[in-house]
Amino acid sequence: MDAASAAQNTGQGTELAGKYLTFSLGNEGYGVGILSVREIIGVMEITAVPHTPDYIKGVINLRGKVIPVLDLRLKFNMEHKDYDERTCVIVVEVQGQTSPVQVGMVVDSVSEVLNVSAGEIEPPPSLGSSSETENILGMAKVKGEVKILLDVNRVVGEGLLQHLQS
Amino acid sequence: MAAADKPLSDLLDDVALKILMIEPGDLSIVGELLELIEKLLPGGAAADTPVVIQQMAAAFKGVLEKLIMGELADSAENYDLLGQCVIEMQESARKEGRPGAEIIARFCANMKQIGFSLEPEALVGSVNAAVTAPGDTKDAAIIEEKSAVVQAQAPAASEPGQGAIPDFLQDTDLLAGFIEEAFDHLESIEVNVLELEQSPDDMDIINNIFRPFHTIKGVSGFLNLKTINRLAHATENLLDDVRNGKRPMDSAVIDIVLTVGDALKSMVAGIKDVLQNGPANYKDTDISGFLVSITQLQNEGDGAAPVEVVSVSAPDSPPEVSESEEDELLPDETVAAVVPDKPAFAKAVSGSGAASLRAPQSQATSAARTAADSGTKKIGASIKVDVEKLDALVNAVGELVIMQSLVRQNKLVSRIADAKLTKDFSQLTRITSELQRTAMSMRMVPIKQTFDKMIRLVRDLSKKSEKKVDLVMEGADTEIDRNMVESIYDPLVHMMRNSVDHGISTPAERVKFGKPETGTVFLRAYQKGGSMMIEIEDNGEGLNTQKIRKKAIERGLISEADSLSDFELNNLVFLPGFSTADKITDVSGRGVGMDVVKKAVEKLRGKVEVQSQPGKGSLFLIRLPLTLAIIDGIIVRVGSERYIIPTIAIQESVHPEPKNYSTVHGRGGNLMVRGELVPIIKLYEKFGVSSTYTDPCEAIVVVVENEGRRRALMVDELLGKEEVVIKNLGGIDVPGVAGGTILGDGRVGLILDLAGVIADNTD
């Protein structure tokens, strides 16, 4: 995560090099820094929490701990897809207001852990509005595929915090 | 402490705040003030303090010390004057340490009025004096300051390895243990002393006080905490005299034991500070005042003529408390320390200070032996556990309980009809629930600890203000989250103080109003509606709503046209603008710092309000969330979701009959419950879930009460009653939901926050 945030400031690919857990949403491949990933679990029953945005699916019981779960498809305004046996929840740890918090992210399927080198990383594309790319650390081209490297702290952490403040 | 990095202005603000909080007779705050001021002194934490302000701080410190020693009157006027002095220091700070002569003159005038002679030249001249060696400034006060500082530091320079940098930091683990232990001991001392007041002749209680002092003495000696060691030792000697019947246990002894307890507490807190923030924060506390009073008391008890402090002539040279005699207090020499001849006094103080900095090796070893006897006894009584580990344990146990019930409900398993299996299962259930209870109880502590401190507070306050006040405590065994205990203490003290100081009037006045002479303050704690409630009720004068209204209009908090209920008016006292009012006492004495209380309570995500009846008294109500507490709840189903309603809030549940159900404009239904119209809240609408029933007459309603408001919550079904642990939702915080819990099937259920559910609905 340190590497990730440092990269935010410098925009250099070198700091972004490292291991990423890759997963897919529709046809797109994504990656999150392996250091922030705590575990991967199958989808379990989620308890909905009222008065929250769509993409916050609710909360689950992670071995006695209640953690929020958000649907990355909905978060990125992608089409909803019913959960199936390949659907996974990636539990990541991000910096909360006071202490680290764990949050689950629902993804279509988890692929593999990739070692991404600095030369394979390019800066995020400009999609017109910055709000859509600010979650993206960079684009990695590995084995002929493009993986979108996500800044977990922004996707998850701020998503939740923004909601709390509103 | 963060204070160490604070800029000068912030430090001065803190000082100003403390001055505001101060009450005559409350020496502990003066002690805190002293600590703050010392940061401004040369070599203090605030390094960039201008020299003039350092000098002002030195004078200020001098005054505080005299207040503590009782040489200056501990009166409200003096504190007001000190407040003025702080303002002048603040002004000087704003002028970047180059205050005009006028400010200096005002500062000195205020100091003089307090009774602390200080010449303007001493401050201005000090700019030079401070650079050179402590010169011969004419003013005795300044000499006193400087010589005390310089002499105390001198041994440090001359004796490398043993000086101002405390040498007790060698074994930090032991030290940390001692700090923790010492706090416990001091707490028990205080409680026992207060008990002793009721039955002064109870030897057991005296022993209970004696022992902790003995332990503190032993361990502190072992750890080379000399000042603490000496003070504890002296007090122990005094108590020993009492034990041996040499002198009676009277209020003088009780008072000194209490004040020594306070002093030790702040000293231990100081050590803790050193441990956390490094030796630079170390400062020695001057205990000579205590030693003198103790010796005096001892001498009285011995039948010797009471020591007339004034009549003892000052020895010309500073008394050397020699190392071999460190263990024995020498009455004569210490008495000399309070001879009001200032230079001599200064020397005496610094002399003893210097002595206490030197490490008598033989004494340390002998104390080590005592520590070995007394110290080992305590170890094993309790251990410190990381809260995270505790949480992990509680979670794991919770999961265990759930897994167990899942296994039990497994279709194959439940088909086995075996008596042994059934028996084993119920045995397992017993064990797990016992385990759960124990794990749970580890995080909670009874609020008794905090309440017990109030006994002392009320005692002191009533004594000082010459009022008769009974403190009645209820529900002291109500358990409160460990983390909350500390944060709730300060607001509680503030409110108790308000109740005693301003709520209860003097015996004479009370009689005039036809009330019993003795006022009563109730302190209650209980759980209600998933909240922890703390009530402070007094049968005093109550709030004057008329005056509050007037004041609020004056302050522009409300307008003339606003019509507010008495309840709303009373609660205006919590507004920040309100309590800064100059003449607080006009508003029935209420409102001092009430916004501070409110802020502190809100930080705990709680609420505070006041109810008052003029002439009858007022009731302050603190409502705290039970972030980690267990609550008893009814599980209800709405569609596919399950919610938990705190049982305490539930009055009844009914199947509404059509004749009792009415709507307004086809919306907002009401239900007639026992002759009263209760608004219905449809949970499925509120939480946006699809439910089985949409007609209240098919569904079931749960009548709940929260803060005097009744509502009927419409649900599909009641599923059962369960004790659940509130867990936060991992960062999600929404109105109407107090938290989540893990239900029997391992899924998360949401616990309703009725205040939120109801409040949201009325908006």
- Tens digits of per-residue pLDDT, B654-676? 888 888 888 877 667 888 888 88
Among the residue ranges A60-64, B179-183, B334-338, B548-552, the one predicted with the least confidence is: B334-338
B724 in contact with A at a CB cutoff of 8 Å? no
DSSP sequence for B514-555: T--SSEEEEEEEEEETTEEEEEEEE-S----HHHHHHHHHHT
Among the residue ranges B87-101, B140-154, B250-264, B581-595, the one predicted with the least confidence is: B140-154
Q: In this predicted structure, what is the pLDDT of residue B480?
A: 82
- Work out the mean pLDDT of chain B and round it to a whole number: 72
Q: List, in sequence order, every residue forming a beta bridge with B709; answer none if it has no partner.
A: B706
Question: In chain A, which residues have their Cβ closer than 8 Å to the Cβ of B748?
Answer: 47, 58-61, 66
**Phi–psi pair at B95, nearest 5 degrees:** -85, 20
Q: Which of B545, B465, B552, B472 is nearest to B509 (CA)?
A: B465
Q: In this predicted structure, what is the pLDDT of residue A87?
A: 93
Domain count within chain A: 1
Q: List, in sequence order, every residue forming a beta bridge with B480; answer none if it has no partner.
A: B445
The stretch B562-574 carries a mean pLDDT of 77
Integer angstrom CA distances of residue B641 from B460, B636, B681, B726: 54, 8, 16, 17
CB contact under 8 A, B730 and A101: yes
Contact by Cβ (8 Å): B65, B286:
yes
Q: In this predicted structure, what is the pLDDT of residue A132?
A: 65
B733 in contact with A at a CB cutoff of 8 Å? yes
Question: In chain B, which residues have their Cβ closer than 8 Å to the Cβ of A61?
Answer: 742, 746-748
CB contact under 8 A, B730 and A103: yes
Higher confidence at residue A124 or residue B133? Answer: A124
Write the Ramachandran bin of A21: left for phi over 0, alpha for psi from -120 to 50, otherwise beta. Answer: beta
Determine which of B732, B734, B737, B751 to mutate to test the interface with A (most A C-beta atoms within 10 Å).
Answer: B732
DSSP sequence for B57-113: HHHHHHHHHHHHHTSS---HHHHHHHHHHHHHHHHHHHTTT---HHHHHHHHHHHHH
Question: In chain B, which residues have their Cβ closer than 8 Å to the Cβ of A155?
Answer: none
Q: Which pLDDT tens digit goes with each residue over B644-654? A: 998 777 889 98
User: Which residue range(s) make up the domain with A57?
Assistant: 2-165
Q: Which of B546, B547, B544, B609 is nearest to B575 (CA)?
A: B609
Q: Which residues 668-707 of B have a C-beta within 8 angstroms of A?
A: 686-689
Q: How far is B603 from chain A (nearest CA, A)?
A: 13
Q: Which of B705, B723, B703, B721 is nearest to B713 (CA)?
A: B703
Q: Which pLDDT tens digit goes with each residue over A71-103? A: 999 888 888 888 888 999 999 998 876 678 889
Contact by Cβ (8 Å): B480, B518:
no
Question: In chain A, which residues have their Cβ closer than 8 Å to the Cβ of B740?
Answer: 47, 59, 66
CB contact under 8 A, A58 and B737: no
CB contact under 8 A, A47 and B735: no
pLDDT tier, A21 (very low <50, low <70, confident <90, very high otherwise): very high
- Closest residue in chain A to residue B388, using alpha carbons only: A99
CB contact under 8 A, A45 and B747: yes
Q: In this predicted structure, what is the pLDDT of residue B486?
A: 78
- Closest residue in chain B to residue A70, using alpha carbons only: B732
Continuous segment of H or E residues that includes residue A152: helix A152-152
Q: How far is B736 from chain A (nearest CA, A)?
A: 9
Q: Specify the DSSP class assigned to residue A47.
A: B
pLDDT tier, B390 (very low <50, low <70, confident <90, very high otherwise): confident
Burial code of A105-136, b = ≥16 C-beta within 10 A, e = fewer? bbbbebbeebebeeebbeebeeeeeeeeeebb
Contacts of B299 by beta carbon, 8 Å cutoff, 6+ apart: B305, B306, B307, B331
CB contact under 8 A, A48 and B641: yes
B728 in contact with A at a CB cutoff of 8 Å? yes
Question: In chain B, which residues have their Cβ closer than 8 Å to the Cβ of A47?
Answer: 641, 740, 747-750
When CB atoms are compared, the residue of A47, A50, A52 closest to B749 is A47
Question: In chain B, which residues have their Cβ closer than 8 Å to the Cβ of A93?
Answer: none
Q: How far is A67 from chain B (nearest CA, A)?
A: 5
pLDDT > 70 fraction of chain B, expressed in percent and rounded: 72
The stretch B99-115 carries a mean pLDDT of 77
Q: List, in sequence order, every residue forming a beta bridge with B701; answer none if it has no partner.
A: B654, B714
Beta pairing, strands B676-682 & B667-673:
antiparallel
Question: In chain B, which residues have their Cβ closer than 8 Å to the Cβ of A68?
Answer: 729-732
H helices then E strands: how many in chain B? 27, 18
Higher confidence at residue B129 or residue B406? Answer: B406
Distance CA(B182)–CA(B371), nearest Å, equals 13
The single-letter code of the amino acid at B196 is L
CB contact under 8 A, A52 and B394: no
When CB atoms are compared, the residue of B396, B689, B729 closest to A64 is B396
Q: Which residues 362-401 of B have a C-beta within 8 angstroms of A?
A: 394-396, 398-399
Q: How far is A11 from chain B (nearest CA, A)?
A: 30
In this structure, chain B runs to a length of 763
CB contact under 8 A, A68 and B729: yes
Which two structure tokens, joined as six digits, stand for B83? 């407040």
When CB atoms are compared, the residue of B688, B735, B742 closest to A61 is B742
By a Cβ cutoff of 8 Å, what residues of chain A touch chain B? 45, 47-52, 56, 58-61, 63-68, 96-97, 101-103, 160-161, 163-164
Residue corresponding to tokens 């005002």? B106
- Closest residue in chain B to residue A50, using alpha carbons only: B687
Q: How far is B605 from chain A (nearest CA, A)?
A: 14
Which two structure tokens, joined as six digits, stand for B55? 């000098």
Q: In this predicted structure, what is the pLDDT of residue B462?
A: 82
Residue B672's Cβ-side half-sphere holds a number of Cα atoms within 13 Å equal to 7
pLDDT tier, A23 (very low <50, low <70, confident <90, very high otherwise): very high
- Closest residue in chain A to residue B398, using alpha carbons only: A64
Is B201's pLDDT higher than 70? Answer: yes
Q: List, in sequence order, every residue forming a beta bridge with B677; answer none if it has no partner.
A: B672
Residue corresponding to tokens 């020496």? B27
Determine which of A52, A65, A103 to mutate to test the interface with B (most B C-beta atoms within 10 Å).
Answer: A65
**Phi–psi pair at B691, nearest 5 degrees:** -115, 165
Q: Which of B390, B584, B607 is nearest to B483 (CA)?
A: B390
Q: In this predicted structure, what is the pLDDT of residue B591?
A: 42
Q: Which of A47, A29, A55 is nearest to A109 (CA)?
A: A29
Is B194's pLDDT higher than 60? Answer: yes
Contact by Cβ (8 Å): A56, A105:
no
Distance CA(A150)–CA(B502), nearest Å, equals 60
CB contact under 8 A, A47 and B399: no
Q: In this predicted structure, what is the pLDDT of residue B580?
A: 41
- Closest residue in chain A to residue B727, using alpha carbons only: A66
Ordered by where they begin, the domains of chain B are 2-138 (1.20.120), 167-377 (1.20.120.160), 387-445 (1.10.287), 458-625 (3.30.565.10), 630-762 (2.40.50.180)
pLDDT tier, B702 (very low <50, low <70, confident <90, very high otherwise): very high
Residue corresponding to tokens 């000195």? B108
Q: In this predicted structure, what is the pLDDT of residue B79?
A: 75
Q: In this predicted structure, what is the pLDDT of residue B685?
A: 86
CB count within 10 Å of CB A145 equals 12
Determine which of B400, B605, B729 to mutate to test the interface with A (most A C-beta atoms within 10 Å).
Answer: B729
pLDDT > 90 fraction of chain B, expressed in percent and rounded: 4
Distance CA(B322)–CA(B316), nearest Å, equals 17
Q: In this predicted structure, what is the pLDDT of residue A37?
A: 94
Is A5's pLDDT higher than 50? Answer: no
pTM listed for this prediction? 0.46
Contact by Cβ (8 Å): B222, B364:
yes
The stretch B283-298 carries a mean pLDDT of 78
Complex ipTM > 0.90: no
Q: Residue A147 CA to chain centroid, in angstroms?
A: 12
CB contact under 8 A, A50 and B689: yes
When CB atoms are compared, the residue of A66, A161, A163 closest to B730 is A66
Alpha helices in B134-284 (DSSP H): 140-158, 172-198, 203-222, 226-243, 251-277
Q: Which of B643, B646, B661, B636 is nearest to B716 (CA)?
A: B636
Higher confidence at residue A39 or residue B15? Answer: A39
B263 in contact with A at a CB cutoff of 8 Å? no
Determine which of B748, B760, B761, B763 to mutate to test the interface with A (most A C-beta atoms within 10 Å).
Answer: B748
Which two structure tokens, joined as six digits, stand for A55? 């993409």
Is B328's pLDDT higher than 50? Answer: no
Higher confidence at residue B172 or residue B146? Answer: B172
Higher confidence at residue B568 or residue B281? Answer: B568
Contacts of B425 by beta carbon, 8 Å cutoff, 6+ apart: B408
Q: Which of B485, B389, B479, B382 is nearest to B437 (CA)?
A: B479
Is B72's pLDDT higher than 80? Answer: no
CB contact under 8 A, B398 and A160: no
